[in-house]
Amino acid sequence: MSQIPRRKLGNTGVELSIVGLGGIIVTDNSPEFASQVVGDAVARGVNYFDVAPTYGNAELRLGPALEPYRKDVFLACKTIKRDGPSAQIELEQSLQLLRTDHFDLYQLHGLSKMEELEQCLGKGGALETFEAAKRAGKIRFIGFSAHSVEVALAAMARYPFDTILFPVNYVLFSQANFGPQVLAEAQKLGLGILALKAMARSVWPKGLKGNERSSQKCWYQPCDLPTEASLALRWTLSKAVTSALPPGDERYFPVALDVAENCKPLSAEEEKTLFAQAEGLEPILVQKK
């Protein structure tokens, strides 16, 4: 079996598989399923795993499943807490649930407002906890995720983060100009760039109830399987990203692994086709005016 290629993670000296496993995949699944999907992923060369306390029982499932492989993988976790004391409590809880003594990467999760960034960076903010934990050996690298162009650019300007986790998506780039400026700045600064929403398509149709959606684990409408999703992921992996996290819907992960094993840059004709499909779609995120 061929192994999934790896790329350098910014200036960290680490190399990650070009597709990672997002913890939502194991949310609300059995321990046996979690062990199987993690074992299969590692066997195919996946060494990047990302999880967060907000992903239901994902930490509880991923901890035991990942334990046999912990020394050989790169484990990333996040917190939505913005003040130091709360971030400290959540960090310790996550370490315990994931059965590890450290995280390779710990991230501010889902920054969307400037006020949140100000609190994180200010006195008594979450970054103070991150830095103390790094000195204590509980964190190797510090990063953030964001769903805002404005906040992502401000975060990179104000703190020397090691990584950024951000949407890198063909619809967002082509229809909303959402992301290219963030990607360019992160690349200029030498951050490790981790991609979200590579296989996202659009918002769910208005009036469609949760149980009527084709995917219960995606707050957005994902690309159709397998052709559109594969093309979308290849587009993202053609950019200056280290790795991409597929949607939490477990049907997308095997497709992503197959794409990663045989990944080829998009041709100009394929990109033209993909962008034509994106025309008229409502982007899942928009820039603040």
Mean pLDDT by 10 residues, the chain (289 residues): 91 98 96 98 98 96 98 98 98 98 98 97 98 98 97 98 98 95 98 97 84 81 93 97 96 96 91 93 84
Question: Amino acid identity, residue 260?
Answer: A
Contact 10, 242 (CB under 8 A): yes
Enumerate the domain spans of the chain.
Answer: 6-278
Peptide bond into 226 cis (omega under 30): yes
Please provide the size of the chain in residues: 289
Q: Does domain 6-278 have CATH number 1.10.275.10?
A: no
Cα–Cα distance for residue pair 123/15, rounded to 1 Å: 34
Predicted local confidence at residue 78, as pLDDT: 98
pTM beyond 0.85, yes or no: yes
Predicted local confidence at residue 121, as pLDDT: 98
